[in-house]
Chains A and B, each alone.
Chain A
Amino acid sequence: MSEMLGNRYFLARQFDKAIPYLEDALAQNPDGDKIKKKLILCFIQTGQIERAFSLFYELIEKNPNIIIDTDIYYDDCPCNELIPEWEKKSKGEEKSLEYLETLAMLYLYCNVNKSLSYLKKASRKADNPAKIITVMNRLPKV
């Protein structure tokens, strides 16, 4: 399996196709932070929010700046395209925990404050908010 092909699908925003290639690349390089950052977004876009949050948590525990320092243009980060789609999705509806976690994760790639605000809401909604609170505590207060 080729990491390069996974990268290509990610660039073309074919997140579902990218997953198996990036997962394989991660298996060969378990410390691959760049791969993890991409996989989080791929999992989000394919509805695998739990898996996305698990990887997200791993990176935050290691160093939150891995995500915070993302450059939208230089890293070809799609969060600017994805956030409006997600915000539009549940307009007027009650926000689920998954929805709040998703936006918290997406916003951390481009706006720490917004991410924190969604994390706070998610922590209030969660039955067991321990991990969310850990993430909040690891983030710099801006």
Chain B
Amino acid sequence: MKLTNGKLTEVILDSLGEGLFTVDKDFRINSLNRAGEQMFGVKKADVIGDFCKNVFKSKRCFGECPIERVLENGASVYDLESEMVTKKGRRLPVKINASVLKDAENKPIGGVVSFRDMSHLETIQKNLINASGFHGVIGRHKSMVEIYKLIEEVADSHSSVMITGESGTGKEMIADAIQKISSRKDKPFVKINCSVFPPQLLASELFGHVKGAFTDAVKDRVGRFEIADGGTIFLDEAAEMPLQMQVQLLRVVQEGTFERVGESITRKVDVRVIAATNKNVNVEMQEGRMREDLFYRLNVIPIEIPPLRQRRSDIPHLVQHFLKKYALISGKNITEVDDEAMDYLTGYQWPGNVRELENAIEYAFARSKDTIIHASKLPLNIRAGIKCTDRLPEENMPVQADEYLLLKNLLQKHQWNRSRVAAEMGIGRTTLWRRLKAHGFVNE
């Protein structure tokens, strides 16, 4: 039996795992697929002809509608975080893609919105955040606690932030935390890595271009600064930006004004800038690769993230966090690392910092069949690293003193329940006993 075009489209849409609806130019729903019906607990027949805002009741319906954004900017929306409300009133976290449908004359005649249910991921995130510390950032070392305090203090500020730290220390996570608690948290948050674009393309990415501005500019394009208007932009690897671009960036940071590539109209935006770099900024300025005026403009609120080797007491917490994360993602019931593995992990230098630690845990997770990660499952370089390198203490606090205080605090917190202390530290009871004995907490 052959299907008519309309029926075929319906069958295709109903076979999708993502929810999807389309609206006409008045924003009345004219189709809803089966996954969408199931997610919202509604029947297609009951909602066709109704306004989408009356059915999906998202807060975006009254503020930043994704289709509105597409109509304004000309670019489709991908992975926009939002919430919808089901027929029974349950809040549904979703990620949205949106596009505009146009007729033969290129006039908008409707829109299509697809959405993925993110409840599962939100539960994972909540569990991890609750177990960690500060909006997804893990670490209880005093240097990290100082950073959390600073972020909270400047939450309502619109000043620029400059995050420095070695590669893998979590600069982007700190930027995420700043955004999450800032007054711009419900506004766009746009991220761009400045080091991956050649100069001409970077200008186009940041400021947009008009049709014909350069060979491949076949149509007008909105830049990241315009998309971020009202919100925040995260410029990763900002120190690697070409000098000419730094002049243009300085102007946006100072005045909020810029021109699209190939256009003379000056546009104005209100964007908070968070920049990050793993370079030594002083060296970059001395050698003329970074403009001083830009640096001082960006560095209004400086945040320096210490490398992992300077906060080793955080390693067990990070290990525990990544164990939980990969257990949730993979479904494997791996809950701890054995004592020997933990010794390797806390003794290693971690040149790649937290990112390298996460990769090591993911690697060990993939290799482990047991409920415990054994040392033999860790990457070879980590096991080799401990043999050829003596453990280096943290720079700001001797390991012994740090560990003594940590043990003391945890013993008090858990009323000397050693199982709980071991669990919180992410180590086995035997290792804990050895450490307690070394610090004179136990005599047996």
Residues of A whose CB lies within 8 Å of any CB of B are: 2-5, 7-9, 11-13, 73-74, 76
Using Cβ atoms and an 8 Å threshold, which residues of chain B touch A76?
A: 51, 54
B68 contacts which of A12, A13, A73, A74 (Cβ < 8 Å)?
Answer: A12
B27 and A8: CB pair below 8 A? yes
In Å, the complex CA distance between A5 and B63 comes to: 13
B72 and A5: CB pair below 8 A? yes
> Can you give 19 contacting A-B residue pairs, CB < 8 Å?
A2-B107, A2-B108, A3-B25, A3-B107, A3-B108, A4-B25, A4-B71, A4-B111, A5-B108, A7-B27, A8-B65, A8-B67, A9-B68, A11-B53, A11-B61, A12-B63, A13-B62, A74-B49, A76-B51
A8 and B51: CB pair below 8 A? no
Can you name the residue of chain A whose Cβ is closest to the Cβ of B26?
A7
Min CB gap A15→B, angstroms: 14
In Å, the complex CA distance between A5 and B108 comes to: 9
In Å, the complex CA distance between A100 and B61 comes to: 32
Using Cβ atoms and an 8 Å threshold, which residues of chain A touch B111?
A: 4
For B, the interface residue count at a CB cutoff of 8 angstroms equals 21
Using Cβ atoms and an 8 Å threshold, which residues of chain A touch B26?
A: 7
The 6 A-B pairs at the shortest CB distance, nearest first, are namely: A4-B25, A4-B108, A5-B71, A8-B68, A2-B108, A7-B26
Min CB gap A131→B, angstroms: 30
Interface centre among B25, B49, B54, B63 (most CB of A within 10 A): B25
Interface residues of B in 1-41 (CB under 8 A from A): 25-27
In Å, the complex CA distance between A5 and B71 comes to: 6
Using Cβ atoms and an 8 Å threshold, which residues of chain A touch B63?
A: 12
Residue B201, interface by CB 8 Å: no
In Å, the complex CA distance between A4 and B51 comes to: 13
Residue B245, interface by CB 8 Å: no
Residue B118, interface by CB 8 Å: no
* A4-B71, A5-B68 as given contacts; A11 in contact with B27, CB under 8 Å: yes
Residue B218, interface by CB 8 Å: no
In Å, the complex CA distance between A47 and B54 comes to: 28
- The secondary structure that dominates the B interface is mixed
A2 and B71: CB pair below 8 A? yes
In Å, the complex CA distance between A3 and B71 comes to: 10
Residue B384, interface by CB 8 Å: no
In Å, the complex CA distance between A5 and B62 comes to: 14
Min CB gap B71→A, angstroms: 4
Using Cβ atoms and an 8 Å threshold, which residues of chain B touch A12?
A: 61-63, 65, 68
* A2-B71, A2-B107, A2-B108 as given contacts; A7 in contact with B25, CB under 8 Å: yes
Give 7 A-B pairs besides A4-B100, A13-B62 with Cβ atoms closer than 8 angstroms: A2-B107, A4-B111, A5-B72, A7-B27, A8-B71, A11-B53, A12-B65
Interface residues of B in 84-129 (CB under 8 A from A): 100, 107-111
Min CB gap B230→A, angstroms: 14
Min CB gap A35→B, angstroms: 11
Using Cβ atoms and an 8 Å threshold, which residues of chain B touch A5?
A: 68, 71-72, 108
Min CB gap A54→B, angstroms: 24
B51 contacts which of A2, A3, A11, A13 (Cβ < 8 Å)?
Answer: A11
Using Cβ atoms and an 8 Å threshold, which residues of chain A touch B100?
A: 4
In Å, the complex CA distance between A122 and B107 comes to: 42
Using Cβ atoms and an 8 Å threshold, which residues of chain A touch B25?
A: 3-4, 7
In Å, the complex CA distance between A67 and B51 comes to: 20
In Å, the complex CA distance between A73 and B53 comes to: 12
Min CB gap B101→A, angstroms: 10
In Å, the complex CA distance between A9 and B49 comes to: 19
In Å, the complex CA distance between A104 and B23 comes to: 33
In Å, the complex CA distance between A9 and B26 comes to: 11
In Å, the complex CA distance between A3 and B26 comes to: 9
Using Cβ atoms and an 8 Å threshold, which residues of chain B touch A4?
A: 25, 27, 71, 100, 108-111
Interface centre among B54, B62, B67, B71 (most CB of A within 10 A): B71
Using Cβ atoms and an 8 Å threshold, which residues of chain B touch A7?
A: 25-27
Can you name the residue of chain B whose Cβ is closest to the Cβ of A13?
B62
Min CB gap B53→A, angstroms: 6
In Å, the complex CA distance between A11 and B111 comes to: 15
Q: Mark B39-71, 1 if CB is under 8 A from A, else 0.
A: 000000000010101100000011101011001
Min CB gap A42→B, angstroms: 15
In Å, the complex CA distance between A126 and B54 comes to: 40
Using Cβ atoms and an 8 Å threshold, which residues of chain B touch A11?
A: 27, 51, 53, 61
Using Cβ atoms and an 8 Å threshold, which residues of chain A touch B54?
A: 73, 76
Q: Mark B327-364, 1 if CB is under 8 A from A, else 0.
A: 00000000000000000000000000000000000000
In Å, the complex CA distance between A5 and B69 comes to: 9
In Å, the complex CA distance between A2 and B101 comes to: 12
Min CB gap B112→A, angstroms: 13
